[in-house]
Amino acid sequence: MTGEPNVGVAPPAADRRRIAEHADVALRSMGQPNSVVGQFDFWNDRYEGRRLFSEVLGTFLLVLVAVGGGMVNARFGGDAVPAGARVVAPALMVAAIILFMGTVSGAHLNPAVSLAFAARGDFPWRRVPAYLVAQFVGAALATLLLWGLLGKQGSAGLTLPGSGISTVTAMLWELVLTTGLVSVILGSASGAQQVGPLAAIAVGSYIALAGLWGAPVSGASMNPARSLGPALVLGDWTAWWAYLVGPLAGAAIAVGIAFVLRGRGGGHSGTAAAQGVLGERP
């Protein structure tokens, strides 16, 4: 009937974009963050290379510190890099990476985090494989650089069960530690708990605290890329499955906890934290 609204028919792409921009202006006028345009920009393929490069670079820097501490210590002997420093340095690096690259890719740096964000509904599943590849590539490149500069230093830099610790115990330890880590990440990126750049402090603090008491047992990796990247390059697959199964199971538990506490998805803040906001208008 003439004059009736065209119910159920999606508007053309240009109209959808215009609607999104109007909604964005309205939200900003009320002091709300951009919650519409960014969703369109996230699917703009021209930014995909930047996001993946960010994940490669971020994971490279994380593993460079995490693996490098042990390799430098082994190369120069004694206590060149104290145990406390080897634990805290990766935590500080993660905080720095979140602050300077989190808006580009979400700064996952960890397959367990990417899978957790996707399982909670904040990150599209079809983007996950490329993120995982980028993270493992970054980890392998960092280990290759360290190997080329310092040489292979035995098992230094690998995450292995502590003395007298079984592989099963190490796996369960990683499960517990990763449950806490992913819970902090999901919680600090959700609704009222969204703390923006301060999430870097929360995540970095958890990694440091977990490492200080957890590293002697399992190495406190909490990250399959950090563990399996060096294992691939250095050719040592001792207890490798513990550092894959433990973190992934911990991430799954953390997603379940987040669902119980907040329901499915982390809202706009969770989506922005998981996907980054590259391309959104300031």
> Which residue segment(s) compose the domain that 83 sits in?
35-275
d(CA 161, CA 271): 35
Q: Whose structure tokens read 């550092």?
A: 243
Q: Name the DSSP letter for residue 34.
A: P
DSSP secondary structure, 146-169, as one string: HHHHH---TTTTS--PPTT--HHH
Secondary structure element (H or E) that encloses residue 88, with its range: helix 83-105
pLDDT value for 6:
46
- Report yes or no on 129 lying in a domain: yes
- Domain count across the chain: 1
- Report yes or no on 13 lying in a domain: no
pLDDT value for 43:
60
For the segment 114-125, the average pLDDT, to the nearest whole number, is 94
Q: Is 42 helix (H, G, I), strand (E, B) or coil?
A: helix
pLDDT value for 61:
98
d(CA 157, CA 63): 9
Chain CA centroid to CA 111, Å? 7
Looking at residue 252, which CATH number applies to its domain? 1.20.1080.10
pLDDT value for 33:
42
- Report yes or no on 6 lying in a domain: no
Q: Name the DSSP letter for residue 107.
A: -
In the chain, the N- to C-terminal Cα span, in Å, equals 43
Give the residue among 115, 114, 100, 92 at the shortest CA–CA distance from 211.
92
pTM exceeds cut of 0.75: yes
d(CA 47, CA 15): 22
- Report yes or no on 173 lying in a domain: yes
Q: Which residue did the predictor score with more confidence, 176 or 48?
A: 176
Percent of the chain with pLDDT over 90: 60
- Report yes or no on 60 lying in a domain: yes
Token code pair at residue 133: 């590849």
pLDDT value for 275:
86
pLDDT value for 265:
74
- Report yes or no on 18 lying in a domain: no
pLDDT value for 29:
37
- Report yes or no on 7 lying in a domain: no
- Report yes or no on 25 lying in a domain: no
Q: Is the pLDDT of residue 97 over 80?
A: yes
In this structure, what is the dihedral angle of CA atoms 279, 197, 109, 151, given to the nearest 10 degrees?
120
Q: With contact defined as beta carbons under 8 Å apart, do 161 and 218 qualify? A: yes
Sorting pLDDT into bands at 50, 70 and 90, what band is 36?
very low
3-state helix, strand, coil in the chain (%, to 5): 70, 0, 30
Looking at 4-18, 80-94, 154-168, which range is the least confident one? 4-18
